[in-house]
Amino acid sequence: MAGELYDYLIALIITGVIFASAVIVVPNVSYVNLLYVDQQQLRNVALETLKAMLLDTGYPLNWNSSNIQRFGLAYAGSSSYYVLDPDKVQQLNRENKLSYVDYDTTRRLLNLRDYGFSLSIIPTFNVTISERLFKLPDISLTVKVSRHDGRPLANAAVHTTFLYSIKEENPQKGENPEVFLNSTVAPTNFTDPLGTCEVSGTLDNPPTGFKIKDVIAVLKVTVADIATVVAVYQSVQNPEGIIDTGSVGDDLYVWIPLTEEEKRSQPQEADWVCNVAAYYGPGDIEVVYSGGTQDTDKFNWGQASPYKNWTRPIPGLKSSDPALLIYVISCVPKVEEKTLTNAPSSTLEGTWSNPAYAYASDNRYGTTATDGATQQYGNYGFSIPPESTINKVEVGFEAYTDGDENIGITCSWDGGTTWAKEYTSKTLPTSDPNTLTWSSFNSPGGWTVDKLSDAKFRIQVKGVKTGGQMSTIYLDWIPVRVRYVPPGGGGRRPVLVAGPSPSRMGFRVLNYGGTPRGTTARIQRNVIISGMTYIAEMILWKESL
Amino acid sequence: MRIIEAILASFIIFFAVAFINTFAVTPSSPTYETSEVEKIGHNVLHDLDDQRLLARFVYNKEWENLTAALMVCLPPDVYFNLTVYKFKVDGSEGKLVVVNDNAPIYYGNPEVFETSSSVASVTYILPGYQANYDSRILILQLVRG
């Protein structure tokens, strides 16, 4: 009897263990089905969330980061679906210093505590500029239009408007120079089967006494009348992080981030907004603000502020809903400095032995054992855009000596008539250092691209004796390094910036939210912002399992 | 002996549960895909209509533009085939006539729409153009490529 009881007990335990194991194992056996269930749940949540985001106006109707109670991007003034309010979308842009609704707040308002999401708003197709040439007054651009999977879009219409700032060269004493914004519409071009087309145009000559200072090309590209707008800048490749712009309601905002040095040194040089134009379409441009001067429209900065800003209300701006705003800002554009290091390709006058061996660092040497013997090098072949600003010209040498000699170096910018102050090295090493020693040279009135032309620029090296006996000097390489800023950089001028920027900045290409992980659900919808179609894409995932 | 019986019984339960599970009704991806692609299709047609492009393309028979517009608005991996019908009264009978029979509006391999098991279909009605009542019925078939 007792044996039976134990049998039953053990059997019960074993059955229980097997049953419990089955409960754990069976769901894993049907893992694929569970994955479907999981994805279905995610997609349902994603669908509902995206619907809430795109179809709801939120509360209050024109919410901002300080008063938002319910999240929604729909435009309150539209009776149609999927029309978004540009002001609300801009508040998802991290660069918007005025009002930014952070990701955690949005998650909380959308009741997505257990989920993460990302929201992207992108144009319906890509427009890239593969080549751009601003040789004023002529401008030439190569445009490529493609789908998001890279396939080219043929027969896309490219409507180009060139906007340019012109500035009075010699204003009357005590008066501010006048700055105008002008525009020229280029003929419409169509992309070929490879999705590319050339856009070119010539700007109108400015009035006497005025000069063109900066240009921006605004391209409205349409595929079957679905449009996207792209701006191409002369001064900077991409203004992101250099100048940020935005608008909320009828108010315009411009921010210029300060460098660490600028933050420390007060007062700073004043920048100001000269003009603002609204772009509605090719040739349809309205100047909404003009006549700004250093006195009236200067950027303001606070003691601990990381940027300086300018703001101005433009009545009726929001209701007119321009596709783009073009700002003319008097500033010194921060353009990246470029460096060119070239070697000579001709030996001019001189008495050194095998001077051509100094064309490259190849352990073959031009030599001299004569005190005061000189050798000239030329044809450095610098290809620097005209009107570039030359910041620095340096000559490098890789040389050694058998004894304790020095080498003297100088350069000329007028074909050998005038020479810079000669640099004399320290005692040269006694074996090939295989490194360059650089020395910079100045030219009266500053360096220009013309002074660096092959016809005018040349280097001269000289053997310099130290002590009583002259040993041999070996010169392996004599390159020249030029640091320059291409046209568009350097100097205060009225610079053009488009905003909310149509390329990689502002809401035109918005990336908001977290980083997807694990199983995700991806939902897309077409939306309309300022009369143009964009794709809103949401990715949703579970934050905690 | 009873232990062996219990083990056997447990195995039977285990296999029974596993067997039944194979019949469990779980939402399948193709079913979901159809519904999602339908929504995308309707959203795109609505968007084009909202911008007053759809009616212009259809009534002016700008089929190339309509094809291009659908291509850029739909996700790149979605193939489509659009047929435009109009209602024609023939005597006492009314019938639907294909308007774009000479100009198929599609993207992707047309065979996909016959072979795929998950083709989504969206019906969209345009009541007229420029204040004239003259309806068109758009049937947009969609499938993920």
Contact A479, A436 (CB under 8 A): yes
Cα distance between residue A288 and residue A315, in whole Å:
9
Pick from A120, A126, A526 the residue to mutate for testing the B interface (most B CBs within 10 Å). A526
Give the orientation angle of helix B29-50 with respect to helix A31-55, to 10 degrees.
20
Residue A452: pLDDT above 90? yes
User: Closest Cα to residue A321, out of A255, A225, A216, A247?
Assistant: A247
Rounded mean pLDDT of B96-100? 88
CA distance B18 to A169: 87
Contact at CB, B7 and A83, closer than 8 angstroms: no
> Of chain A residues 73-92, which have a CB less than 8 A from chain B?
80-83
- Residue B143 has which token pair? 């499938």
Residues A193 and B36: their CA atoms lie apart, in Å, by 32
**Mean pLDDT (whole number) for A126-155:** 86
Give yes or no: residues A237 and A204 share one domain.
Answer: yes
Cβ of A40 under 8 Å from any chain B Cβ?
yes
Give chain A's end-to-end CA distance (angstroms, integer): 49
Residue A347: closest CA among A378, A370, A373, A368 = A378
Model ipTM? 0.75
Q: Is A538 on the interface with B (CB under 8 A)?
A: no
State the smallest CA–CA distance between residue B129 and chain A in angstroms: 18
Q: Are residues A219 and A284 in the same domain?
A: yes
User: Residue A115 domain-assigned?
Assistant: no
A505 band by pLDDT with thresholds 50, 70 and 90: very low
pLDDT at B11 over 50: yes
Cβ atoms within 10 Å of A272's Cβ, excluding its own: 20
Suggest the residue from B47, B58, B144 to mutate for an interface test with chain A (most A CBs closer than 10 A).
B47
In a domain, A481, yes or no: yes
d(CA A334, CA A488): 9
A4 chain-B contacts, CB cut-off 8 A: 2
**Alpha-carbon span A41 to A39, nearest angstrom:** 5
Q: Which of A76, A34, A31 is nearest to A55 (CA)?
A: A76
B5·A11 Cβ contact <8 A: yes
Q: Is the pTM of this model over 0.80?
A: no
* H or E element at residue A422: none
Tell me if A470 sits within 8 A of A370, measured CB to CB: yes
Domain check: are A474 and A500 in the same one?
no
- Residue A256's H or E segment, with its range, is strand A251-257
At residue A356, the 3 state secondary structure works out as: helix
Q: Who wins on pLDDT, B19 or A183?
A: A183
- Nearest chain B CA: its distance from A107 CA (Å): 23
Angle at A32 between CA A28 and CA A38, to 5 degrees: 95
* Rounded Cα distance, A50 and A106, in Å: 12
Annotated domain spans of chain B: 28-144
Of A7, A36, A531, the CB nearest to B26: A36
What is the domain-level CATH number for residue A408?
Answer: 2.60.120.260
Is A78 strand, coil or helix?
A: coil
Q: What is the mean pLDDT of residues A302-325?
A: 82
Residue type, B30: P
Report the Cα A164 to chain-centroid distance in Å. 20
Q: Kindly state the DSSP code that residue A514 receives in the 8-state scheme.
A: -
Q: Do both A37 and A136 map to the same domain?
A: no
Q: Are residues A62 and A147 in the same domain?
A: no
- Whole-number Å distance between alpha carbons of A353 and A476: 12
Does a structural domain hold residue A515? Answer: no
Identify whether A294 is part of a domain: yes
- Which of A26, A37, A533 shows the shortest C-beta gap to B26? A37
Q: Is A135 within 8 Å of chain B by CB?
A: no
Give the model's pLDDT for residue A444.
86
* Residue of chain A with shortest Cα separation from B9: A15
Beta-bridge mates of residue A61:
none
Of A18 and A54, which is predicted with more confidence? A54
Whether the per-residue pLDDT at A348 is higher than 90: the answer is no
Q: Quick one: pLDDT at residue A170?
A: 77
A524 at interface of B, judged by CB pairs closer than 8 A? yes
The angle subtended at Cα A55 by Cα A94 and Cα B38, nearest 5°, is: 110
Q: Is the pLDDT of residue A503 over 60?
A: no
Q: Nearest Cα to B5, choosing from A8, A6, A17, A16?
A: A8
Chain B residues within 8 A (CB-CB) of chain A? 1-3, 5-7, 9-11, 13-14, 17-18, 21-22, 24, 26-29, 32, 36, 39-40, 43-44, 46-47, 50-51, 53, 57, 62, 64-69, 71-73, 75-77
* Candidates B14, B44, B46; nearest CB to A18: B14
Strand A324-331, strand A493-499: pairing: antiparallel
- Measured CA to CA, the distance from residue A129 to residue A365 in angstroms comes to 46
Indicate if A185 and A274 belong to the same structural domain. Answer: yes
* Sequence-separated (6 or more) residues with CB below 8 Å from residue A255: A97, A243, A244, A245, A246, A307, A308, A309
Structural domain total, chain A: 3
> Given a cut of 50, is residue A502 above it in pLDDT?
no
Question: Are A330 and A343 contained in the same domain?
Answer: no
pLDDT confidence of residue A480? 94
pLDDT at A196: 93
Could you tell me the pLDDT band of residue B85, with boundaries at 50, 70 and 90? very high
How large is the greatest C-alpha to C-alpha distance in chain B, in angstroms?
A: 88
B112-135: average pLDDT:
86
Q: Mean pLDDT, chain A, as a whole number?
A: 84
The β-bridge partners of A143 are A129, A197
**Of the candidates A15, A43, A524, which has its C-beta nearest B9's C-beta?**
A15
What DSSP string describes B69-84?
HHHHHS-TTEEEEEEE
Residue A478 and residue A394 share a domain: yes
Contacts 24+ apart (CB under 8 A), B16-20: B17/A22, B17/A26, B18/A22, B18/A26, B18/A29
As given in the structure block, the two tokens for residue A148 are 């998001």
A356 and A445 belong to one structural domain: yes
A479 plus A346 within the same structural domain: yes
Here the tokens at position A321 are 């809903």
Residue from A153, A225, A535, A540 whose CB has the most chain B CBs within 10 Å, to mutate = A225
**Domain containing residue A456:** 338-485
Identify the pLDDT of residue B23. Answer: 64
The verdict on a CB contact (< 8 Å) between A523 and B10 is: no
Distance CA A367, CA A344 (A): 16
Per-residue pLDDT at A265: 66
Q: Give yes or no for A15 touching B (CB within 8 A).
A: yes
- Strand ranges inside A332-446, DSSP E: 338-342, 346-350, 366-368, 374-378, 389-401, 406-412, 423-424, 437-441
- State yes or no: pLDDT of A331 exceeds 90: no
Give the tens place of pLDDT for each residue, A156-182: 999 999 988 888 877 777 777 788 888
Q: Which residue on chain B is closest to A14 by alpha carbon?
A: B7
Mean pLDDT of A102-123: 89
Predicted confidence band at A264 (pLDDT cuts at 50, 70, 90)?
Answer: low
List chain A residues with CB under 8 Å of B39. Answer: 47
* Cα torsion through B84, B89, B93, B96, rounded to 10: 0
Judged by CB atoms closer than 8 Å, whether chains meet at A153 and B27 is answered as no
Give the separation between CA A129 and CA B109, rounded to whole angstroms: 32
> What whole-number percentage of chain A has pLDDT above 70?
90
Q: How far is A223 from chain B (nearest CA, A)?
A: 7
Which parts of B51-143 fold into alpha helices (H)? 54-59, 63-73, 112-115
* Token reading at A252: 């315009």
User: How does strand A520-529 pair with strand A83-84?
Assistant: parallel
Mean pLDDT of B47-59: 89
The highest-level CATH class for domain B28-144 is alpha beta
Neighbours of A94 (CB within 10 A): 11
Domain annotation covers residue A13: yes
Residue A403 is assigned to a structural domain of this protein = yes
Nearest Cα of chain B lies from the Cα of A24 at a distance, in angstroms, of 11
Q: Does residue A153 sit at the B interface (CB-CB below 8 Å)?
A: yes
Structural domain contains residue A519: no
